[in-house]
Chains A and B, each alone.
Chain A
């Protein structure tokens, strides 16, 4: 029963993504192409999502715990380190080249389009490569600390 509800939450996300235009690389790239064929629509995606999430989170965090779990799992890191900024900068380069971000591409898989499948395969390749590199560097980091 809980899994069905989580599935439906995914349906809401996926529908929102395709309605908003985030799954359409032409629209995403045009949002950033202020000097060319600019389409400011994605600012409205961000605005709509942020307003609903900010208000909704406020209400949810008024509860002691989520409905199905014992506690809220929130990121605890606070520091602005090179890994966060560098990784985000690299992500932006890839997003600008391909026009898909992970949240846009995953729902778009449901269209069965070959371009989306290729992007997600490459995305997974990048994720595995980065995890592999992180695992290589981790023992070294522990040894020096």
Chain B
């Protein structure tokens, strides 16, 4: 297991930027900033215009690390403490879950919770709980 530094200020600042982007997307085109919805919608757009805003937003997201690099002088730290098969299995499970659950951390956890949506609050409490249980099982029971 890898220790990571406790970064309350930079994490809160990053969170505030995430919130700012959610507010700006609602202000400009009246849409929820949900990574799942933005991504899934690209493959079944309702119109050319619907596809174009999703692609523009996604291209912007992918530019994030470059902005970080320009300001900080290095790429953001990404440490993957799991094996490639686990990464693929986890990714596939996430894809199934967010499709049936209609959202993920950004859509339910930030946008929906900020609107006090009962569905998003229930979804967020559910996935936070199952994530914690999964991490406990993987790290402390099966890895034992």
Residues in A lying within 8 Å of B, measured CB to CB: 2-27, 29-30, 32-37, 39-42, 44-54, 56-57, 59-61, 63, 65-69, 71-75, 77-80, 83-111, 113, 115-116, 118-131, 134
Chain A residues, CB < 8 A from B99? 87, 126-127, 130-131, 134
Query: Which of A39, A60, A74, A118 meets B88, CB within 8 Å?
Result: A118
Q: Is the CB of A18 within 8 A of B65?
A: yes
Q: Is the CB of A97 within 8 A of B134?
A: yes
Given the known inter-chain contacts A21-B14, A36-B1, please indicate yes or no for A41 contacting B7, CB distance below 8 A.
yes
Q: Is the CB of A124 within 8 A of B95?
A: yes
Q: In angstroms, how far is the closest chain B Cβ from the Cβ of A40?
A: 6
Q: In angstroms, how far is the closest chain B Cβ from the Cβ of A106?
A: 5
Q: Is the CB of B65 within 8 A of A14?
A: yes
Smallest CB-CB separation from B61: which chain A residue?
Answer: A14
Residues in B lying within 8 Å of A, measured CB to CB: 1-36, 39-40, 43-44, 52-53, 56-68, 75-82, 84, 86-102, 104-106, 108-115, 117-119, 122-124, 126-136, 138-140
Q: In angstroms, how far is the closest chain A Cβ from the Cβ of B112?
A: 7
Chain B residues, CB < 8 A from A115? 78, 80, 84, 87
Chain A residues, CB < 8 A from B114? 50, 53-54, 57
CB-based A-B contact count at 8 angstroms? 496
Query: Which of A4, A42, A95 meets B94, CB within 8 Å?
Result: A95
Considering the chains assembled together, what is the distance between the CA atoms of A57 and B23 in angstroms?
A: 6
Considering the chains assembled together, what is the distance between the CA atoms of A90 and B35 in angstroms?
A: 17
Query: Which of A3, A10, A46, A129 meets B21, CB within 8 Å?
Result: A10
Considering the chains assembled together, what is the distance between the CA atoms of A22 and B65 in angstroms?
A: 12
Q: Is the CB of A92 within 8 A of B130?
A: yes
Q: Is the CB of B28 within 8 A of A9?
A: yes
- Which 4 residue pairs are nearest across A and B when measured between Cβ atoms? A126-B95, A10-B60, A14-B64, A98-B90
Smallest CB-CB separation from A57: which chain B residue?
Answer: B114
Q: Is the CB of B95 within 8 A of A130?
A: yes
Considering the chains assembled together, what is the distance between the CA atoms of A61 and B27 in angstroms?
A: 8
Chain A residues, CB < 8 A from B104? 91, 101-103
